[in-house]
Copies of this chain bind each other. A is one copy, B any other.
C-alpha cells in the first residue's frame, strides 16, 4: 500500500486505535507510537491541572510537512506517518505514529519527530494551575525561544 502522511491539528479527540489503524500496513511489522499527556507537575506550591495549546496553524502545517519529508529521507523504509496534535484545552495531547517493516527505523524516526516538533513547530502551551493562575510556557528546546519571554495571566 502507498505511503501516507496524514497530519492534523485539531480541537477534537482522536482515539489511539484510530491512529494505529491509520498507519497499519501489511508490509509493516512495526508501529511506534508516542503519546504526550498532561503531567500534573507541582512547583512553587501550585499544581498543573491542564494544558492549553495554540498554534500558528498554517506555519505549523508547513513545518509538519517538512518534518515528514525529512523523516522519509533519513529512514527510507518508513511507510506510514500519522501526526495528530490537539489544540485548545487538552489531555492527552499528541499521538504520533510511524510504521516501518522493521522496528529500528520506526523507533528512531519517532524520536526525531518529537525532537523536531519541540524544536521547530510553532505550537504554544499554556499551563493552567490549581491556584487559578496560568502561564504560557515556551519550549526550552525551541530554536527561536528566549528563556525569559514567558508571561503569566489569570484564568
Which A residues have a C-beta under 8 Å from some C-beta of B? 15-17, 20, 24, 26-40, 92, 99, 101, 103, 107, 110-111, 114
If A17-B16, A20-B16 touch, does A103 touch B30 (CB 8 Å cutoff)?
no
If A16-B17, A20-B16, A111-B107 touch, does A33 touch B30 (CB 8 Å cutoff)?
no
Count identical subunits in the complex: 2
If A40-B26, A110-B107 touch, does A31 touch B35 (CB 8 Å cutoff)?
yes
A99 partner residues in chain B, CB cutoff 8 A: 37
The 10 sampled A-B contact pairs (Cβ below 8 Å) are: A17-B17, A20-B35, A26-B38, A28-B39, A30-B35, A31-B35, A32-B33, A32-B34, A34-B103, A34-B107
Min CB distance A72 to B, Å, is: 19
